[in-house]
Amino acid sequence: MNIKQDNIRNVAIVAHVDHGKTTLVDELLKQSGIYHEKQQVEERVMDSNALERERGITILAKNTAVMYNDIKINIVDTPGHADFGGEVERTLSMVDNVLLVVDAFEGPMPQTRFVLKKALELKLKPIVVVNKADRPNARPIEVIDEVLDLFISLDADDEQLEFPVIYTSAIQGWASTEANKKGENLVPLFEMIKNVCLPPSGNNEKTQIMVTNIEYNEFIGRIAIGKLQNGSLETGQSVSIITPQGEINKQNINKIYTFEGLNRKEVPKVDYGEIVAISGLHPINIGETISSAENPHPLPSIKIDEPTITMTFSANTSPFAGLEGDYVTSRHLKSRLEKELETNVSLHVSQTESKDKFLVAGRGELHLSILIETMRREGFEFEVSRPKVIFKEIDGVLHEPIERVFIEVPSEFSGTIIEKLGAKKAELVKMESPNPDQTRLEFLCPARSLIGFRSELLTDTKGNGIINHTFEDFQPYKGDIPTKNKGSLVASDTGETSNYGLYHCQERGTLFIGPHTKVYTGMVVGQSTRNVDIDVNVCKKKQVTNMRASGSDENIILTPPTILSLEQSLEFIGDDELLEVTPQNLRIRKVQLDSKKRIREWKSKQGK
């Protein structure tokens, strides 16, 4: 018989990127008295990862807990981007309730749809938090209507449609139950969590925890995190670890921790309904069940959406290999990717025919680019190929991943975008204008059409286009899609770039590098104005004679180079190119560095 733990509320906070959920968690922590009066607390304290702070997005789901009167509220801050859906899906299985944070001006956005869909499938109790209600252009009433439409479109049941609503300003630290009335603090939100949110239920008969997260501590090893669904746990207790394949091994628990603010508190015993961290179990992985030693019962495994994008990771083979990184061999690369698999459940890694190359599959370009950026900051040096979509055969028919794409552009550019995506086999599903100057477009589009499209969108809309997309499903192959071949400017010599050499190359395209940069033969130094690759000598120096002085080089005016970010580099590279990633530089290069061999290979392909 299931009994409720009335003094606990397990709540996940979900939202679209930049709708303020991490800031809201900050305020809940502050107003619950977690910090002492004079303690200095940085903003977005839950975004502890350096990449999260730089990009202003949540990548890793994190746990915290606050006390309100006699109620303990376990809070999980989840990522807002669909590429980190593996994090969302795992963490939602730990909670019974969800706070859906929506911007009071923007309303529900693509990622709002994604995270809410997952929450409704798990039958979680929703509370809608209309945040940024202090904005001068806020439209809270209309936003609630849009949220209701979203719930209906996601097949919410009658109980879920009766969602309570609260209006907040996370930045100012207040909540109100009335749309146009400013509150004084977050007490109304705390009260709503206490009175509306469901307490966890379970039984004392059999111990069951699904491991939904893994952390690593250099002193105590792996720490398993999950919600104790049933039963109780004690320090030193003997338990069974059950893998998704049904294998069972018995181990003893070393220590048990619960969450308290931003810290963990060691406890001797814990009952069902609590979110706990457990040390001493090794090996232990995400998706495994911790159950009683005498009577092991596995929990249903967590369903994670499949990867849709794949890239090849390989050891660096460029002429500059080994000069800038600490970890450069394929052995280092393999062990690092295997370590990532332990915590990144939506990532797949497989060995190719070559021992030095690994096929890495993820949820999207952002998912993989975050992994690449993390690895280069750790001192790794490697090469990656152009992202490719994963095709599947279903009942003998080739299927491909389809994305639901949401684009917001100034109205004058909407025709251009519709035409461009139409040529890429995208289907226009919805078109609306929130105001005369803006148009919102919704498409169902093959995922392969979106590789490199973001930069095209920004060019076509003069930097004013906004794109978001979420995985829809696999559909029958849509046929060949014409691709615009963009040629590259390829360095013909190894050396250091000169003003003179760059000056004579800049009329042939857009340069990616400036003067006094070391380059090698076969390295891509810019984008060609034509649809073919052009070999250029960017290291060329002016011939010095008694008629010409080298000093006149200083009068040369160079166009500032376009420095590509990691994401832009991944969008730019072609099938015959690689991105060389080191802690200090990103370099695009040809797979075949020798220009004569490249031409011979190209001619042989044309002859086939």
Strand 71-77 vs strand 97-103: parallel, antiparallel, or unpaired?
A: unpaired
Q: How far apart are CA 499 and CA 43, in angstroms?
A: 44
pLDDT score at 315: 92
Q: In 386-416, which positions are buried (b, 16+ CB within 10 angstroms) versus exposed (e)?
A: bbbbbeeeeeeeebbbbbbbbbbbeeebbee
Q: Please indicate if the annotation marks 287 as binding a ligand.
A: no
Residue type, 537: N
Q: In 261-278, which positions are buried (b, 16+ CB within 10 angstroms) versus exposed (e)?
A: bbebeebeebbbbbbbbb
∠ CA 254-64-195, nearest 5°, is: 120
Q: Please indicate if the annotation marks 312 as binding a ligand.
A: no
The count of residues in the chain is 608
pLDDT score at 192: 92
Which domains are assigned to the chain? 3-201 (3.40.50.300), 203-292 (2.40.30.10), 309-389 (3.30.70.870), 397-476 (3.30.70.240), 488-574+585-607 (2.40.50.250)
Q: What is the pLDDT of residues 40-80, one digit of tens each?
A: 444 444 434 444 444 444 444 567 888 888 888 888 877 64
Q: How many other CB atoms are found less than 10 A from the CB of residue 175?
A: 28
Band of residue 304 on the pLDDT scale cut at 50, 70, 90? low
DSSP β-bridge partners for residue 240: 250, 291
Q: Which residue has the higher pLDDT, 43 or 238?
A: 238
Look-up of token digits 């966890």: 200
Q: How far apart are CA 242 and CA 607, in angstroms?
A: 56
Q: How far apart are CA 606 and CA 608, in angstroms?
A: 6
562's torsion region: left (phi>0), alpha (psi -120 to 50) or beta?
A: beta
Contacts of 127 (CB under 8 A, 6+ apart): 97, 98, 99, 100, 163, 164, 165, 166, 192, 193, 196, 197
Q: How far apart are CA 269 and CA 266, in angstroms?
A: 9
Strand 488-491 vs strand 509-511: parallel, antiparallel, or unpaired?
A: unpaired
Tell me: cis bond preceding 283? Omega within 30 of 0 counts: yes
Band of residue 452 on the pLDDT scale cut at 50, 70, 90? confident
Nearest CA to 268 out of 236, 292, 238 is that of 236
Q: How far apart are CA 327 and CA 380, in angstroms?
A: 5
Asked if the model's pLDDT at residue 288 lies above 50, the reply is: yes
pLDDT score at 3: 53
pLDDT score at 318: 92
pLDDT score at 89: 67
Asked if the model's pLDDT at residue 496 lies above 80, the reply is: yes
Q: Please indicate if the annotation marks 23 as binding a ligand.
A: yes
Q: What is the pLDDT of residues 131-157, one digit of tens each?
A: 888 888 888 899 999 899 889 988 888
pTM of the model: 0.73
pLDDT score at 1: 43
Q: Where are the beta strands (DSSP E) in 159-302?
A: 165-169, 174-176, 201-202, 208-217, 221-230, 232-234, 238-242, 248-252, 255-260, 263-267, 269-271, 275-279, 289-292
Asked if the model's pLDDT at residue 541 lies above 90, the reply is: no
Band of residue 83 on the pLDDT scale cut at 50, 70, 90? very low
Q: Please indicate if the annotation marks 20 as binding a ligand.
A: yes
Nearest CA to 346 out of 210, 215, 471, 475 is that of 471
Report the pLDDT averaged over residues 568-579. Answer: 88
